[in-house]
Structure 1
């Protein structure tokens, strides 16, 4: 009778200890859900709010020879779809790209407002690369870097439009 009691007691302890494994599984599932929510998706990027300036038709014809500008515009459109391949690549390639971006700039755009916007775009490109390649950067920081690049590229477009508009009005002679 005593052995049955001891055996029943041991079985009860074993059953109770098995219940702890389910709690551990739940903790692991919660951790997986948190990591999945940390991923940046196209929907997340789409929800970023900023003023997006597009080039006017005159500006588009003026930048037609600026190959690196078109490449950057294409890569930014990919970034809006959560394709980070260009922005989290090798830093040396990105630095080479930014150097070519500056040197290929048409002469009519080599004025201080556009050059300063160009410098800001370069800075935001490098900062985004750093934030995407480092593992210890928070998701919110990465999103802020993405937004900063969108804003700086949009401001570059705005300055290009303004430059060509002011050139147009400067050509008009009063009667």
Structure 2
């Protein structure tokens, strides 16, 4: 009788302990998911120089549809909206491919092509990191910062190209 009582007590004890640990695991997992979620405040803490386009670019860039699509994606990133990177892979791939292939002739130089390639690389890196489940929040924020910096560098290079083209420098001979 004593042995039966001890066995019953051990069974009840093990079942009750298991229920408590299952509840704690669920609570810890929801806290971990919340801590991995990237919010607008996290994006606002990213330190980089945001360079926009000059007024001189109004003639060229609005007709460059691929640039406009990716500029909208970067703007949504600033709002902590990663939907462009989680959306259909074909839309994402087409936008990046079009960005490289449809650079307007007025600004198509090696330096701008290099900035477009760097921007493309950072976008692909961020997309890959967002698709992995075991990546830390800080890694995704770092990749997001790299996208912002690459986009700013592309804008800076476009501005420099158009500024240089607008200068009329006469050389004395």
Same fold (TM over 0.5): yes
Corresponding residue number in structure 2 for 1:121: 119
Distance 2:133 2:68 in 1: 30
Corresponding residue number in structure 1 for 2:169: 172
Corresponding residue number in structure 2 for 1:160: 158
Corresponding residue number in structure 2 for 1:91: 89
Question: CA RMSD for the aligned pairs?
Answer: 2.8
TM (normalized to structure 1)?
0.81
TM (normalized to structure 2)?
0.82
Q: CA deviation at 1:72?
A: 1.1
Distance 1:72 1:150 in 2: 11
Q: CA deviation at 1:88?
A: 2.1
Corresponding residue number in structure 2 for 1:44: 42
Distance 2:83 2:146 in 1: 18
Corresponding residue number in structure 2 for 1:143: 141
User: Do the aligned residues in 2 keep the contact of 1:68 with 1:104 (CA within 8 Å)?
Assistant: yes
Distance 2:16 2:153 in 1: 59
User: Do the aligned residues in 2 keep the contact of 1:94 with 1:126 (CA within 8 Å)?
Assistant: no
Report the number of matched residues: 171
User: Do the aligned residues in 2 keep the contact of 1:109 with 1:160 (CA within 8 Å)?
Assistant: yes
Distance 1:157 1:111 in 2: 14
Where do 1:55-66 residues align within 5 Å? 55-66=53-64
Distance 2:93 2:12 in 1: 62
- Gaps (5+ residues) in structure 2? 1-5
